[in-house]
Chains A and B, each alone.
Chain A
Amino acid sequence: MKLIEKYKDEITEILSHYPVKRSALIPLLYLAQQDEGYVSEAAMKEIAQMLRLTPPQVYETATFYTMLNLKPVGKFHLQICKSLMCALVGSDTVIGWVKTKLGIGPGETTADRLFTLSTVECLAACGTAPMMQVNEDYYERLTEEKFDRILADLKKYGTCSLKTGPFMWPEPANAVNHDA
């Protein structure tokens, strides 16, 4: 089914934000990715038509951005930050856990297509490192125990309550914690 039929309202809303249509390109690519799990060629062609661009203009943009997946990824996309601040406090160890527990290295997907591992650059969680992002959620101050629980919960429930809520670190001395 075409995006325009399935997401008519969303698309109208997106287009209304910009005086120039092409600005809607990344938002529409996200919409396509949300729909299929990745940005397919068919979707790119349809978006090109919607925005009156040529397909190469759409590919040109789509290929620049690392968050747009041009190939399908696993159901849970583990993205572990390996930049210096995380590396100082053990991000390489976390990458090692993925290898031993799931048998995959960076760029690989498990045979059951549940998990894909990517190593990524700083995700703005350097004070709560090591960390990883799984699909839309952040998991911070990772320990092996936490990591095991996250994997187990993801498999079982599709999500895990250890994910970070509205971020603040350090937590205020006497404040009530509303995220838990």
Chain B
Amino acid sequence: MSKHEPVLLKNMQRPGYTGSLQDYEQTGGYQALRKVIGKVPPAEVTTTVMKSGLRGRGGAGFPTGVKWGFLPKDYQGPRYLCCNADESEPGTFKDRQLIERDPHQILEGILLAAYAIGAESAYIYIRGEFVLGAKILESAIAEARIAGYIGANILGAGITVNVWVHRGAGAYICGEETALLESLEGKRGLPRVKPPFPATHGLYNKPTVVNNVETLANLPHIISRGSEWFSAIGSPPKSTGTRIFCVSGHVKRPGNYEVPMGVTFRELIYEEAGGMRSNKPLKAFIPGGASAPFLTPDSLDVKLDFESVAAAGSMLGSGGVTVMEEGTDMVWAALRLMEFFYHESCGKCSPCREGSSWLVQTMRRIVAKRGQMEDLETLVDLCKNIVGRTVCSFGDAEISPIMSTLKHWRPEYVRLIHEAEAANLIALKRPAGRP
């Protein structure tokens, strides 16, 4: 058992907890909404969230209250809230658990956020594969509607918020917030050029906030227990609260672990997740989903907070921590991720569309032992021509696996190429007419 007290996963770890409205209410659910709706001005809710230091859990880590504050104050028309439940970053599987085991925690978070920003409609954009999750959310919404938490005149406070579930249909890029909005408008999920930002021109060109599932799930706790309680957890002032880390790969006990931000990778991997699955030592780990550069065992004592991981040359990203044991082929691993990015590039901008294709081809050649030394320069060259030149930050992400494995495990690339060269020499020496 973990020595850390969970916040978001606490309810679902109670024996017999089903995630029903009744169960949720019995553990203090919807008290935060009751506390503020129609009683505390929306701007004050935003201030509390700002003071808590809560930062987005979707990947970019943007301060949530600050984001809400960007919405135009005097705008009279509709505003929208979108809950980003697209969870498609390889290595990440926390939102799925939050959705399927404690849906009302998310709904209460959505209602609080909608109240704070003045949105009457909220859409939960959930990845299409989460069929079960979508059903669970739909029934939770129905329960909450009957109980008067969702719909017109919530709890008699004269506030209206409707919540709808909208299923995606299999496209990683729709997790990017502007692609999500395009998709929600019934179009191809192509990211928009920013600015303008969703805060002013979002869904249907109206002021919009997009927040991740886990971000929203934190809100009931912050409102109930106060910003000071929250900002004392983790590594204040910049990384407050807990985070759910999704541990995968070669560990004994892969799974979701909620810990205060600021514990070390060593603790997460060796204590929470039980350490390595066999007697092979740890060779590499990815700290924050497929988009985060690989790290070596030298970084095991780095703290799991936004700043520390960035300082170590990677990013905390989506919270997906993937562990690889000694013996894992790093060029192969980088290729696997590159194939993912190649498959998921939306094709809107040429550096990413063409670059991802060339990167995959070059990597495949190297792995198949048909590479040449120049290929290594080609890889770096291609990566440098993608980064910073694309519409969305997918471009910056897709070069991470190759650039970081080249940095830490270059000899593995070189060995494959030497083997290719040796094979070529043998082929050249073969008498003509023989295979």
Contact = CB atoms under 8 A, between A and B. Distances in A.
B172 A121 contact: yes
Given A84-B340, A172-B13, A129 B248 contact: yes
Contacts, number: 177
Interface in A123-140: 123-129, 133, 136-138
Given A88-B328, A129-B248, A124 B95 contact: yes
Contacts of B247: 127
Contacts of B185: 20, 22-23
Interface string B42-62: 000000000000000000000
A176 interface: yes
Nearest to B251: A127
Interface residues of B, number: 66
Contact of B189 (A25, A27, A64, A136): A64
B169 A68 contact: yes
Interface string B126-144: 0111111000100000000
Interface in B71-94: 78, 87-93
Most buried by A among B1, B168, B248, B253: B248
Contacts of A22: 185-187
Given A19-B204, A84-B90, A175-B13, A126 B248 contact: yes
Contacts of A84: 90-91, 290, 322, 333, 336-337, 340
A67 B172 CA distance: 12
A173 B91 contact: no
A24 interface: yes
Given A27-B167, A166-B132, A85 B248 contact: yes
Interface stretch (B15-23, B32-40, B146-154, B373-381): B15-23
B337 A126 contact: no
Contacts of B337: 83-84
B184 interface: yes
A11 B357 CA distance: 40
B255 A122 contact: no
Nearest to A170: B255
B320 interface: yes
B97 A168 contact: yes
- Interface range on chain A: under 10, 10 to 19, 20 to 34, or 35 or more? 35 or more
A103 to B, nearest CB: 25
B152 to A, nearest CB: 14
B20 to A, nearest CB: 11
A169 B100 CA distance: 12
A126 B169 contact: no
A100 interface: no
B90 A85 contact: yes
Nearest to A20: B204
A61 B92 CA distance: 27
Interface string A87-125: 111000000000000000000000000000000111111
B344 A121 contact: yes
A65 interface: yes
Given A126-B90, A127-B93, 16 more contacts: A26-B166, A26-B167, A27-B167, A84-B90, A88-B324, A121-B90, A122-B88, A122-B90, A124-B92, A126-B248, A127-B246, A167-B101, A168-B12, A169-B93, A172-B12, A172-B14
Interface of B: 1, 12-19, 78, 87-93, 95-97, 100-101, 121, 127-132, 136, 164, 166-172, 183-189, 204, 246-250, 253-256, 290, 320, 322, 324, 328, 333, 336-337, 340, 343-344
14 contacts: A19-B121, A64-B188, A67-B168, A84-B337, A88-B250, A88-B328, A121-B88, A122-B92, A126-B90, A126-B246, A127-B248, A166-B100, A170-B253, A176-B16
Question: Which 8 pairs, one residue from A and one from B, show the smallest C-beta to C-beta distance?
Answer: A65-B169, A25-B186, A67-B170, A22-B186, A66-B170, A127-B254, A122-B90, A126-B248
